[in-house]
Protein backbone atom coordinates (compact mmCIF):
# COMPACT_ATOMS: atom_id res chain seq x y z
CA UNK A 1 0.00 0.00 0.00
CA UNK A 2 1.55 3.29 -1.05
CA UNK A 3 1.11 6.54 0.84
CA UNK A 4 -1.42 7.97 -1.58
CA UNK A 5 -3.75 5.01 -1.01
CA UNK A 6 -3.26 5.21 2.74
CA UNK A 7 -4.05 8.94 2.62
CA UNK A 8 -7.22 8.06 0.75
CA UNK A 9 -8.24 5.78 3.61
CA UNK A 10 -7.40 8.43 6.21
CA UNK A 11 -9.67 10.89 4.41
CA UNK A 12 -12.50 8.36 4.45
CA UNK A 13 -11.99 7.64 8.15
CA UNK A 14 -11.68 11.37 8.91
CA UNK A 15 -8.21 10.80 10.37
CA UNK A 16 -5.08 12.95 10.20
CA UNK A 17 -2.13 12.31 7.88
CA UNK A 18 0.01 14.49 10.11
CA UNK A 19 -0.75 12.26 13.09
CA UNK A 20 -0.21 8.97 11.29
CA UNK A 21 2.81 9.98 9.22
CA UNK A 22 5.47 8.64 11.59
CA UNK A 23 3.58 5.48 12.60
CA UNK A 24 2.01 4.62 9.29
CA UNK A 25 4.22 1.63 8.48
CA UNK A 26 2.71 -0.67 11.11
CA UNK A 27 -0.82 0.61 10.51
CA UNK A 28 -0.51 0.04 6.76
CA UNK A 29 0.55 -3.57 7.36
CA UNK A 30 -2.50 -4.22 9.53
CA UNK A 31 -4.84 -2.58 7.04
CA UNK A 32 -3.30 -4.55 4.15
CA UNK A 33 -4.01 -7.80 6.00
CA UNK A 34 -7.58 -6.67 6.62
CA UNK A 35 -8.01 -5.89 2.92
CA UNK A 36 -6.82 -9.41 2.09
CA UNK A 37 -9.23 -10.94 4.59
CA UNK A 38 -12.08 -9.04 2.94
CA UNK A 39 -10.79 -9.91 -0.55
CA UNK A 40 -10.48 -6.21 -1.41
CA UNK A 41 -7.83 -5.80 -4.10
CA UNK A 42 -7.89 -2.03 -4.29
CA UNK A 43 -8.35 0.85 -1.88
CA UNK A 44 -11.46 1.97 -3.77
CA UNK A 45 -12.98 -1.48 -3.26
CA UNK A 46 -11.94 -1.50 0.42
CA UNK A 47 -13.47 1.90 1.11
CA UNK A 48 -16.63 0.86 -0.70
CA UNK A 49 -16.81 -2.21 1.54
CA UNK A 50 -16.23 -0.13 4.68
CA UNK A 51 -19.00 2.24 3.66
CA UNK A 52 -21.46 -0.64 3.32
CA UNK A 53 -20.33 -2.78 6.25
CA UNK A 54 -20.35 -1.23 9.74
CA UNK A 55 -18.58 -4.24 11.25
CA UNK A 56 -15.74 -4.00 8.71
CA UNK A 57 -15.41 -0.26 9.32
CA UNK A 58 -15.28 -0.80 13.09
CA UNK A 59 -12.52 -3.36 12.60
CA UNK A 60 -10.60 -0.94 10.36
CA UNK A 61 -10.85 1.73 13.05
CA UNK A 62 -9.59 -0.73 15.66
CA UNK A 63 -6.65 -1.69 13.45
CA UNK A 64 -5.72 1.97 13.07
CA UNK A 65 -5.10 2.28 16.80
CA UNK A 66 -1.51 2.97 17.84
CA UNK A 67 -0.14 1.32 20.99
CA UNK A 68 3.32 2.91 21.16
CA UNK A 69 4.08 3.92 24.76
CA UNK A 70 6.45 3.31 27.66
CA UNK A 71 6.60 3.72 31.42
CA UNK A 72 7.02 7.30 32.67
CA UNK A 73 7.03 8.68 29.14
CA UNK A 74 7.99 12.37 29.25
CA UNK A 75 9.54 12.17 32.70
CA UNK A 76 8.96 15.85 33.52
CA UNK A 77 5.20 15.27 33.37
CA UNK A 78 5.40 12.72 36.18
CA UNK A 79 7.43 15.10 38.33
CA UNK A 80 4.76 17.77 37.87
CA UNK A 81 2.00 15.33 38.76
CA UNK A 82 3.80 14.31 41.95
CA UNK A 83 4.97 17.74 43.07
CA UNK A 84 2.02 19.93 42.09
CA UNK A 85 -1.07 18.21 40.70
CA UNK A 86 -1.62 15.46 43.25
CA UNK A 87 -1.06 17.74 46.26
CA UNK A 88 -3.58 20.23 44.87
CA UNK A 89 -6.19 17.54 44.26
CA UNK A 90 -5.78 16.03 47.72
CA UNK A 91 -6.18 19.50 49.29
CA UNK A 92 -9.63 19.68 47.70
CA UNK A 93 -10.68 16.78 49.91
CA UNK A 94 -12.19 14.69 47.15
CA UNK A 95 -12.64 11.01 47.93
CA UNK A 96 -12.41 8.84 45.94
CA UNK A 97 -10.18 10.34 43.30
CA UNK A 98 -11.55 9.48 39.87
CA UNK A 99 -8.99 9.06 37.08
CA UNK A 100 -9.72 8.20 33.45
CA UNK A 101 -7.11 6.98 30.98
CA UNK A 102 -8.82 7.48 27.61
CA UNK A 103 -6.95 5.43 25.03
CA UNK A 104 -4.75 3.54 27.48
CA UNK A 105 -3.19 1.20 24.86
CA UNK A 106 -1.03 -1.39 26.65
CA UNK A 107 -1.41 0.19 30.10
CA UNK A 108 2.11 1.56 30.58
CA UNK A 109 0.89 4.98 31.71
CA UNK A 110 -1.82 3.48 33.91
CA UNK A 111 0.76 1.50 35.87
CA UNK A 112 3.13 4.48 35.88
CA UNK A 113 0.42 6.48 37.63
CA UNK A 114 -0.25 3.68 40.09
CA UNK A 115 3.45 3.61 41.01
CA UNK A 116 3.47 7.38 41.38
CA UNK A 117 0.33 7.27 43.53
CA UNK A 118 1.78 4.63 45.84
CA UNK A 119 4.86 6.78 46.36
CA UNK A 120 2.84 9.96 46.91
CA UNK A 121 0.04 8.55 49.07
CA UNK A 122 2.54 6.78 51.31
CA UNK A 123 3.34 10.17 52.81
CA UNK A 124 -0.27 11.06 53.62
CA UNK A 125 -1.93 10.55 56.98
CA UNK A 126 -5.32 9.92 55.40
CA UNK A 127 -5.02 8.78 51.82
CA UNK A 128 -8.14 9.07 49.64
CA UNK A 129 -9.30 6.04 47.72
CA UNK A 130 -8.34 5.76 44.08
CA UNK A 131 -10.69 4.79 41.25
CA UNK A 132 -9.12 4.32 37.81
CA UNK A 133 -10.97 3.70 34.57
CA UNK A 134 -8.71 2.65 31.68
CA UNK A 135 -10.30 2.36 28.25
CA UNK A 136 -9.20 1.54 24.74
CA UNK A 137 -10.93 0.62 21.52
CA UNK A 138 -8.71 -2.41 20.94
CA UNK A 139 -9.44 -5.40 23.23
CA UNK A 140 -6.04 -6.93 22.40
CA UNK A 141 -4.30 -3.92 23.92
CA UNK A 142 -6.43 -4.25 27.04
CA UNK A 143 -5.57 -7.95 27.35
CA UNK A 144 -1.89 -6.98 27.29
CA UNK A 145 -2.54 -4.28 29.88
CA UNK A 146 -4.34 -6.68 32.20
CA UNK A 147 -1.47 -9.16 31.90
CA UNK A 148 0.99 -6.42 32.91
CA UNK A 149 4.01 -7.97 31.16
CA UNK A 150 6.35 -5.69 29.20
CA UNK A 151 9.62 -5.77 27.27
CA UNK A 152 12.66 -4.17 28.84
CA UNK A 153 12.52 -1.37 26.26
CA UNK A 154 9.28 -0.09 27.79
CA UNK A 155 11.10 0.57 31.07
CA UNK A 156 13.98 2.76 29.94
CA UNK A 157 12.66 5.77 31.88
CA UNK A 158 12.03 3.82 35.09
CA UNK A 159 14.94 4.06 37.54
CA UNK A 160 16.49 1.11 39.39
CA UNK A 161 14.49 1.78 42.56
CA UNK A 162 11.23 1.51 40.64
CA UNK A 163 12.35 -1.62 38.83
CA UNK A 164 13.38 -3.32 42.06
CA UNK A 165 10.18 -2.42 43.94
CA UNK A 166 7.47 -2.79 41.30
CA UNK A 167 8.64 -5.29 38.70
CA UNK A 168 9.80 -8.90 38.54
CA UNK A 169 11.66 -10.61 35.71
CA UNK A 170 9.40 -12.60 33.44
CA UNK A 171 11.53 -14.59 31.06
CA UNK A 172 14.23 -13.09 28.88
CA UNK A 173 14.16 -9.27 28.71
CA UNK A 174 10.61 -9.05 29.98
CA UNK A 175 9.16 -7.73 33.24
CA UNK A 176 5.83 -8.17 35.02
CA UNK A 177 4.27 -5.47 37.18
CA UNK A 178 3.64 -6.16 40.86
CA UNK A 179 0.11 -7.51 41.26
CA UNK A 180 -0.84 -4.79 43.73
CA UNK A 181 -0.66 -2.22 40.92
CA UNK A 182 -3.60 -3.89 39.21
CA UNK A 183 -5.89 -3.00 42.10
CA UNK A 184 -8.35 -0.11 41.70
CA UNK A 185 -8.14 -0.32 37.88
CA UNK A 186 -11.19 -1.06 35.73
CA UNK A 187 -10.28 -1.96 32.10
CA UNK A 188 -12.97 -1.47 29.45
CA UNK A 189 -13.26 -1.55 25.68
CA UNK A 190 -14.47 1.91 24.68
CA UNK A 191 -14.05 4.38 21.85
CA UNK A 192 -13.13 7.68 23.50
CA UNK A 193 -14.21 9.52 20.36
CA UNK A 194 -17.62 8.92 21.90
CA UNK A 195 -16.68 11.57 24.46
CA UNK A 196 -17.67 11.20 28.10
CA UNK A 197 -16.50 8.08 29.94
CA UNK A 198 -18.71 4.98 29.80
CA UNK A 199 -21.23 4.42 32.57
CA UNK A 200 -20.11 7.48 34.48
CA UNK A 201 -22.10 8.41 37.54
CA UNK A 202 -23.19 12.01 36.81
CA UNK A 203 -22.42 12.91 40.43
CA UNK A 204 -18.84 11.64 40.20
CA UNK A 205 -16.76 14.07 38.18
CA UNK A 206 -13.28 13.18 37.03
CA UNK A 207 -10.25 14.57 38.83
CA UNK A 208 -7.71 13.76 36.11
CA UNK A 209 -8.20 12.66 32.52
CA UNK A 210 -5.22 11.31 30.61
CA UNK A 211 -5.84 11.94 26.91
CA UNK A 212 -2.30 11.52 25.68
CA UNK A 213 -1.23 10.96 22.09
CA UNK A 214 -4.65 9.83 20.94
CA UNK A 215 -7.52 11.75 19.38
CA UNK A 216 -5.66 15.08 19.49
CA UNK A 217 -2.89 13.52 17.40
CA UNK A 218 -4.67 11.12 15.07
CA UNK A 219 -7.78 13.12 14.17
CA UNK A 220 -8.34 16.62 12.80
CA UNK A 221 -9.90 19.29 14.95
CA UNK A 222 -13.33 18.96 13.35
CA UNK A 223 -13.40 15.29 14.40
CA UNK A 224 -12.20 15.63 17.99
CA UNK A 225 -13.74 18.97 18.99
CA UNK A 226 -17.16 17.61 20.03
CA UNK A 227 -15.81 14.53 21.88
CA UNK A 228 -13.27 16.76 23.63
CA UNK A 229 -16.11 18.98 24.81
CA UNK A 230 -17.90 16.02 26.36
CA UNK A 231 -14.69 14.85 27.99
CA UNK A 232 -13.93 18.23 29.55
CA UNK A 233 -17.54 18.53 30.70
CA UNK A 234 -16.98 15.39 32.79
CA UNK A 235 -13.96 16.88 34.57
CA UNK A 236 -14.51 18.30 38.04
CA UNK A 237 -14.04 22.05 38.60
CA UNK A 238 -10.29 22.59 39.03
CA UNK A 239 -9.66 19.06 37.69
CA UNK A 240 -6.92 18.32 35.16
CA UNK A 241 -6.57 17.18 31.56
CA UNK A 242 -3.23 15.60 30.64
CA UNK A 243 -2.14 15.50 26.98
CA UNK A 244 0.92 14.57 24.95
CA UNK A 245 4.10 16.63 24.78
CA UNK A 246 3.46 17.64 21.16
CA UNK A 247 -0.27 18.19 21.52
CA UNK A 248 -2.28 21.31 22.31
CA UNK A 249 -5.92 22.19 22.90
CA UNK A 250 -7.21 24.62 20.28
CA UNK A 251 -9.14 27.50 21.85
CA UNK A 252 -8.90 26.08 25.42
CA UNK A 253 -11.18 28.76 26.86
CA UNK A 254 -14.03 27.39 24.77
CA UNK A 255 -13.48 24.05 26.51
CA UNK A 256 -13.32 25.79 29.93
CA UNK A 257 -9.64 24.95 30.21
CA UNK A 258 -6.55 26.95 31.11
CA UNK A 259 -2.98 25.93 30.40
CA UNK A 260 -1.36 24.68 33.61
CA UNK A 261 1.88 23.35 32.16
CA UNK A 262 3.25 22.06 28.89
CA UNK A 263 1.43 18.75 29.32
CA UNK A 264 -1.53 19.79 31.44
CA UNK A 265 -4.68 21.89 31.28
CA UNK A 266 -6.89 22.73 34.23
CA UNK A 267 -10.67 23.02 34.27
CA UNK A 268 -11.81 26.54 35.07
CA UNK A 269 -15.15 27.64 36.40
CA UNK A 270 -17.52 29.23 33.89
Q: Can you give the pLDDT at residue 197?
A: 78
Residues 138 and 228 in one domain: yes
Kindly give, in sequence order, each residue whose CB lies less than 8 Å from that of residue 183, ignoring residues fewer than 6 positions away.
Answer: none
Task: With respect to residue 68, please indicate whether it lies within any of the assigned structural domains.
Answer: no
Task: With respect to residue 136, please indicate whether it lies within any of the assigned structural domains.
Answer: yes
Task: With respect to residue 18, please indicate whether it lies within any of the assigned structural domains.
Answer: yes
Q: Can you give the pLDDT at residue 203?
A: 65
Question: Domain holding 83: CATH number?
Answer: 3.40.50.150
Residues 222 and 89 in one domain: yes
Residues 16 and 123 in one domain: no
Residues 57 and 99 in one domain: no
Tell me, letter by letter, the H, E, C secondary structure of the chain.
CCHHHHHHHHHHCCCCHHHHHHHHHHHHHHHHHHHHHCCCCCHHHHHHHHHHCHHHHHHHHHHCCCCCCCCCCCHHHHHHHHHHHHHHHHHCCCCCEEEEEECCCCCHHHHHHHHHHHHHHCCCCCCCCEEEEEEECCHHHHHHHHHCEEEHHHHCCCCHHHHHHHEEECCCCEEEECHHHHCCEEEEECCHHHCCCCCCCCCCCEEEEECCCCHHHHCCHHHHHHHHHHHHHCEEEEEEEECCCCCCCCCHHHHCEEEEECCEEEECCC
Distance CA 241, CA 245 (A): 13
Residues 91 and 48 in one domain: no
The count of domains in the chain is 2
Q: What is the extent of the structural domain holding 57?
A: 3-63
Mean pLDDT by 10 residues, the chain (270 residues): 95 95 94 96 96 96 92 95 95 91 95 96 88 94 96 93 95 93 92 77 83 94 92 93 93 91 88
Residues 150 and 113 in one domain: yes
Task: With respect to residue 84, please indicate whether it lies within any of the assigned structural domains.
Answer: yes
Q: Can you give the pLDDT at residue 192?
A: 85
Amino acid sequence: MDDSRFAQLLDFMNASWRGYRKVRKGVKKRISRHMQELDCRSMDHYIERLGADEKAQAECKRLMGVSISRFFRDRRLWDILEERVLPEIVKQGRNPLNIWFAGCAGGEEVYSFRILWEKFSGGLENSPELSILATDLNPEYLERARAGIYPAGALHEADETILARWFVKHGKNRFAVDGSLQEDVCWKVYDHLEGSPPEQDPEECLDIVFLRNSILTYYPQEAFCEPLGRITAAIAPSGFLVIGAKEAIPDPGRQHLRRYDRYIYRKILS
